[in-house]
Amino acid sequence: MHIFCIFALRHENGLHPLKLLLMNLNAEFIERTETLFGKAVYDRFAQALDEEPVVSIRHNELKHFSGIDGDNVPWTSLGCYLAERPAFTADPLFHAGCYYVQEASSMFLEQVVRQFVTSPVRALDLCAAPGGKSTHLHSLLPEGSMLVSNEPMPLRAQVLAENVIKWGRASALVTKNEPADFASFRNFFDFVLVDAPCSGEGMFRKDSFAVEQWSVPNVRQCAARQREIVADIWESLRPGGLMVYSTCTFNREENEDCVEWIAGNLGAEVLKVDVTDEWGITGSLTIKGLPVYRFIPGFTRGEGLFMALLRKDGDASLAQPRMPRLKVADKRVKEEVGRWLREPGMFDFVMSGETVVAMPKEHTAAMMALCQKLRVLHCALPLAEAKNNKLLPLHQLAMSVELEPSAFRRVEVERDKALAYLHREALLFADEPVGHLLITYKGVPLGFVKNIGNRANNLYPAEWRIRKNPLEL
Residues belonging to the active site: 248
Residue type, 17: P
Half-sphere exposure of residue 360: CA atoms within 13 angstroms, side-chain side = 18
Distance CA 437, CA 444 (A): 13
What's the rounded Cα separation, in Å, for the pair 269 and 267?
Answer: 7
Task: Report the candidate in 172, 79, 114, 117 with the shortest Cα–Cα distance to residue 381.
Answer: 172
Q: Between helices 132-140 and 154-167, what is the axis angle to 10°?
A: 30
b/e 290-301 (16+ beta carbons within 10 angstroms → b):
bbbbbbbbbbbb
Residue 291: CA atoms inside 13 Å, Cβ hemisphere, count?
13
Element (H, E) at 133: helix 132-140
Longest dimension (CA), the chain: 72
* DSSP classification of residue 54: P
Pairing label, strands 99-101, 55-59: antiparallel
Residue 457, strand partner residues? 450
Cα 342 off chain centre by: 25
How many CB atoms within 10 Å of residue 351? 15
Task: Give CA–CA dist 212/398, Å, rounded.
Answer: 42
